Amino acid sequence: MTDAIESTAADRAVKAKHRKMWALGDYAALAGDLIPTLGPALVRACGVKAGDRVLDIAAGTGNAAIPAALAGADVVACDLTPELLDVGRQLAGKQGAELEWREADAEALPFGDGEFDTVMSCVGVMFAPHHAATAHELVRVCRPGGTVGLLNWTPEGFIGRMFAAMRPYAPPPPPGAQPPPLWGKEQHVRTLLGDRVTEVEAHRATVEVDRFERPEAFLDYFKAVYGPTIAVYRNIADTPDRVAELDSALVELARQHGCGTGRSTMEWEYLLLTGRRSG
């Protein structure tokens, strides 16, 4: 019993850190500035239509949930971070989208078995630390014959490599945690879903990002706006040499991906995977 209590307390502490991290910066601005097409792409791939009951897990500020609602679906957008949900409500109101916003942990969803026709996540569930628990939950709440749809950054793409560059400067991950970009590997996701999801279709694609004319502009933007980057820099704030090392690594990474080489368009790779809930 003591071990269980300690495990639960440790998990609560991890989730509290995640909430705090994603509340940093301005994720809504980043999603709108850089990746506004990803949510609609996932909604189309899932075949969301009017009347469908849809759950968007780790929905953030509604990059996928709002397009699904505008398509006529009955949508619940859930996320661990209430600050993101508050912004999402405002964005939905401005666009005339009606949907439900719920605070929820992707690893322990407060929904019944088979409650939704479509369960999806757009660069969201990949950041839950325990992949198997997350996969179990997203399949559990999807009805038999319903659609599971996931869009996640690949390890080999720009964002996956950015997280790899930041990892040595971040606090140690909690026990049992797995790297987020593994959700961008098709075989990893297939293994997580197992035979509970059939008719799996997966392909890699890229989103074009043309906001940054110089690598340094990319660095400044992410240090100001993106919660995980802000958190990593806070972790090393007292060690200027390490800050300079990470600055250099991220600037070079942006340069390698086409930023500041006479063109400003970068291509960020993701994996889009859909399937049918078996049973």
pLDDT for the residue numbered 8: 79
pLDDT for the residue numbered 110: 97
Kindly give the parts of the chain with pLDDT less than 70.
1-7, 261-263
pLDDT for the residue numbered 3: 40
Domain covering 2-277, topology:
Rossmann fold (3.40.50)
pLDDT for the residue numbered 261: 65
Long-range contacts of 248-252 (CB under 8 A, 24+ apart): 249/165, 250/162, 250/165, 250/166, 250/215, 250/218, 250/219, 250/222, 251/215, 251/216, 251/218, 251/219, 252/215
> How far is the C-alpha of 249 from the C-alpha of 252, rounded, in Å?
5
pLDDT for the residue numbered 259: 85
| Element of type H or E holding 159 | helix 158-166
Count of residues for the chain? 279
- Which residues does 164 contact at the CB level (< 8 Å), separation at least 6? 155, 181
The angle that helices 240-256 and 227-235 make with each other, rounded to 10 degrees, is: 150
pLDDT for the residue numbered 258: 86
Query: Which segments within 127-224 are labelled E, that is strand?
Result: 142-153, 197-209
Model pLDDT for residues 185-226, shown as the tens digit of each residue: 999 999 999 999 999 999 999 999 999 989 999 999 999 999
pTM tops 0.85: yes
